[in-house]
Amino acid sequence: MKTNIVIDDQLISDALKATGLTTKKEVIEMGLKTLIQLKQQEQIKEFKGKLKWEGNLEEMRLNQ
């Protein structure tokens, strides 16, 4: 999808330096993917204390 938006030049420059990416498109796509991942992680937190887990953690660690 082609979209024209105005983005702060310093923000893009800082993002390029921080990530090592070389294009604005790469930076924006990584930013969107990261935002989605963070929001999905927030949703997972809603299950804390609500799921029952059965198994032997020590056994799982030793069988790798």
24 neighbors 12 (Cβ within 8 angstroms) = yes
pTM value is 0.69
Q: Can you give the pLDDT at residue 62?
A: 87
Query: Which pLDDT band, with edges at 50, 70 and 90, does 12 fall under?
Result: very high
Average confidence (pLDDT) over 6-14 = 97
Q: 23-48, pLDDT tens digit by residue?
A: 999 999 999 999 999 999 999 888 88
Q: What is the DSSP string of 16-62?
A: HHHH---SHHHHHHHHHHHHHHHHHHHHHHTTTTT----S-HHHHHH
Q: Can you give the pLDDT at residue 11?
A: 97
Q: Can you give the pLDDT at residue 60?
A: 87
